[in-house]
Amino acid sequence: MENKTILVLCTGNSCRSQMAEAYLRHFANSKAIIYSAGVETHGLNPGAVATMLEDGIDISHHTSNNVQEYRHIPFDYVITVCDHAKERCPVFPGKAQQFHHNFPDPAKATGSDDEIKEQFRQTRDLIKDYCRDFVQRYLLYL
């Protein structure tokens, strides 16, 4: 069976979509080809990199990509991970099934360094659970 293609879309492709891309890859193994992009590009967030490393996943090699770079790919699933991206999400031709979950943006966290790190961890854990469930529901039995 052919691999499913998944696009995770966020505002800036710096944090939440990067985490989701990594967890979807981790849980899906070889059952899907995963991409992430933003409706804008903000560069990879160092806090996201550090928080994912705490969970044993290195995203330091990821790049921040614009959704327009992937318009030619016939996605099976498009997952928006913030309301802003959902509102600005382009229409993808074909059969792409769309999903949405608005995760808190840890890049906008305020407080002490420890408080900000904790907000990154909370968002990471929410994304991890969502991605694990998504893979079990839509990819596991391919």
Coil, strand or helix at 135: helix
Scanning 29-110, the segments in alpha helix (DSSP H) are 46-54, 83-88
| Per-residue burial over 41-76, b = 16 or more CB atoms within 10 Å of its CB, e = otherwise | beebbebbbebbeeeebebeebebbebeebeeeebb
Amino acid letter at 80? T
Residues annotated as catalytic are 10, 82, 89
Task: Residue 138: count other Cβ atoms within 10 Å of its Cβ.
Answer: 18
- 33's enclosing H/E stretch is strand 32-38
State the residue for tokens 């992009």: 37
